[in-house]
C-alpha cells in the first residue's frame, strides 16, 4: 500500500517542474472587426496563479480573467478592454499591463459603438492550414504553420503564419474577414505551440506535459478579388 501511495505522489508531480506554471493566454475566435482601425476584437482570457504558504506547504491558488484584445492587420495591439474588477483586475494588469475598464455587461455594446461589426464572410474561398518544415522528432517537435487560400481547387495565396509545435497539429484557429475595398482579406490565426516538460524529460516513458502557448497572428492578404 505504501508503494502505491508513493507511486501516486510521483505521478501527480511528474508533469511539473515548479509552482504556478501553465498560465499562457487563451484566445477565442473573433467575431467582430472594425474597418476604420483595420482591427479584430479578439476575446481572450488570462489564467493567473498565486503561491500561498500554509504550514510550510506551498499551495497554488488559480483563477482566470477575461478581456478583449484589439489587434490590427499589422499585428499591433491597439488596446485591451475588460470588465475585470478587484483582484481579477490586479492580476490582469500584472500580466498584460494597463487596460481600459468597461462596466460589467457593456463590453459588446462598447465595441459596437466604436465601429466593430460582424465579420464579412469570403464565400468563394476556403482557408486551410498546413504544417511544413518539420523539425527533428525530439522534444516538442517544431513545424511551420502555413495558410492556404483556395478557390476552385487552386491555391491563390500561401502565407507563413509562424512556427509552432506539431504535437498541437489539430489546434490552429483561423478566421477571415473580407475587407470593404480592394479585394483584400484580413486574417486572424492562432499558431499553437507547447511549453513545459517535453517528452523524455522525466524518463524514457514520459510523454511530456504540453503547456499550451497560443501565438496570435493578424495579417492582411492582398489580390483576393476571386474570393468575393
pLDDT digits (tens, 9 = 90+) for 184-198: 999 999 999 999 999
**With contact defined as beta carbons under 8 Å apart, do 195 and 182 qualify?**
no
The answer to whether 99 touches 67, Cβ cutoff 8 Å, is yes
DSSP assignments along 82-135, one per residue: E---HHHHHHHHHHH---EE--TT-HHHHHHHTT-EEPPP-TT-EEEEEEES--
pLDDT in tens, 64-114: 999 999 999 999 999 999 999 999 999 999 999 999 999 999 999 999 999
- Strands 154-165 and 173-178 turn out to be unpaired
Show contacts of 66-70: CB within 8 Å, 24+ apart: 67/92, 67/96, 67/99, 68/41, 68/42, 68/43, 68/44, 68/107, 68/111, 69/27, 69/41, 69/42, 69/44, 69/216, 70/34, 70/37, 70/39, 70/40, 70/41, 70/42
Q: What does the alpha-carbon distance between residue 29 and residue 190 come to, in Å, rounded to a whole number?
A: 9
In tens digits, what is the pLDDT along the chain, a chain of 228 residues? Answer: 333 333 323 333 444 567 888 999 999 999 999 999 999 999 999 999 998 887 777 788 899 999 999 999 999 999 999 999 999 999 999 999 999 999 999 999 999 999 999 999 998 999 999 999 999 888 899 999 999 999 999 999 999 999 999 999 999 999 999 997 778 999 999 999 999 999 888 888 888 999 999 999 999 999 998 888
Amino acid at each position: 500500500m505504501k508503494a502505491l501511495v508513493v507511486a501516486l505522489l510521483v505521478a501527480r508531480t511528474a508533469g511539473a517542474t515548479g509552482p504556478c506554471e501553465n498560465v499562457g493566454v487563451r484566445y477565442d475566435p473573433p467575431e467582430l472587426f472594425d474597418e476604420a482601425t483595420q482591427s479584430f476584437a479578439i476575446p481572450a482570457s488570462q489564467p493567473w496563479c498565486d503561491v500561498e504558504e500554509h504550514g510550510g506547504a506551498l499551495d497554488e491558488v488559480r483563477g482566470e480573467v477575461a478581456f478583449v484584445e484589439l489587434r490590427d492587420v499589422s499585428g499591433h495591439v491597439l488596446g485591451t478592454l475588460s470588465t475585470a474588477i478587484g483582484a481579477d483586475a490586479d492580476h490582469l494588469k500584472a500580466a498584460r499591463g494597463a487596460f481600459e475598464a468597461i462596466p460589467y455587461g457593456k463590453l459588446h455594446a462598447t465595441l459596437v459603438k466604436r465601429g466593430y461589426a460582424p465579420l464579412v464572410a469570403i464565400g468563394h474561398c476556403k482557408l486551410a492550414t498546413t504544417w511544413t518544415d518539420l523539425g527533428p522528432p525530439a522534444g516538442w517537435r517544431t513545424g511551420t504553420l502555413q495558410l492556404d487560400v483556395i478557390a476552385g481547387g487552386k491555391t491563390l495565396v500561401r502565407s507563413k503564419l509562424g512556427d509552432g509545435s506539431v504535437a498541437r497539429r489539430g489546434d490552429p484557429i483561423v478566421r477571415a474577414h473580407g475587407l470593404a475595398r480592394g479585394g483584400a482579406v484580413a486574417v486572424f490565426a492562432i499558431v499553437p505551440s507547447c511549453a513545459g516538460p517535453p517528452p523524455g524529460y522525466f524518463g524514457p516513458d514520459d510523454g511530456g506535459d504540453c503547456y499550451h502557448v497560443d501565438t496570435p497572428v493578424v495579417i492582411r492578404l492582398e489580390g483576393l478579388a476571386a474570393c468575393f
